[in-house]
Amino acid sequence: NAGVTQTPKFRILKIGQSMTLQCTQDMNHNYMYWYRQDPGMGLKLIYYSVGAGITDKGEVPNGYNVSRSTTEDFPLRLELAAPSQTSVYFCASSYSGDRLVVELFFGEGSRLTVL
């Protein structure tokens, strides 16, 4: 079982460049999330999606965009990378329905450095 798969695992960007972090899950989860984790800090929610075609902003959405065209995929787009976006990014998914909540399942993370 693959679970939540993120690519790439590591990336170095120059200021002003753009890139997309890929995330895919094979658990048929309806909810998907993007978090960032800064050194020594907790998780901050960037964007989330409750199903295909539906996305919403989290706590720190500025400088990012997302799309959810399928249940499986939830890519995160960084436009005009800035040093403040240096972080570790985690994609996660969960199932919510029938008044039941399943825990978050996380990918292994993508470490991004902007120089």
Partner 1 sequence: GNSVTQMEGPVTLSEEAFLTINCTYTATGYPSLFWYVQYPGEGLQLLLKATKADDKGSNKGFEATYRKETTSFHLEKGSVQVSDSAVYFCALSSDYGQNFVFGPGTRLSVLP
DSSP codes of every residue in 26-89 = SS--SEEEEEEE-TT--EEEEEEEEETTEEEE-S--TTEEE--SSSSB--EEE-S--GGG-EEE
Instruction: Compute how many residues bind partner 1; rule: CB under 8 A.
Output: 24
2 touches partner 1 (CB under 8 A):
no
- The structure tokens listed for 10 are 């590591």
d(CA 43, CA 60): 11
90 touches partner 1 (CB under 8 A):
yes
Site pattern 17..56 for partner 1 (x: CB under 8 A): --------------x-x-------xxx-x----x------
Smallest gap from Cβ 90 to partner 1, in A, equals 6
Q: If we measure between CA atoms, which residue out of 47, 43, 50, 36 comes closest to residue 94?
A: 50
Contacting residue, 1, 2, 62, 103, with partner 1 by CB under 8 A: 103
Closer by beta carbon to partner 1, 12 or else 38: 38
Closer by beta carbon to partner 1, 10 or else 84: 10
Smallest gap from Cβ 45 to partner 1, in A, equals 8
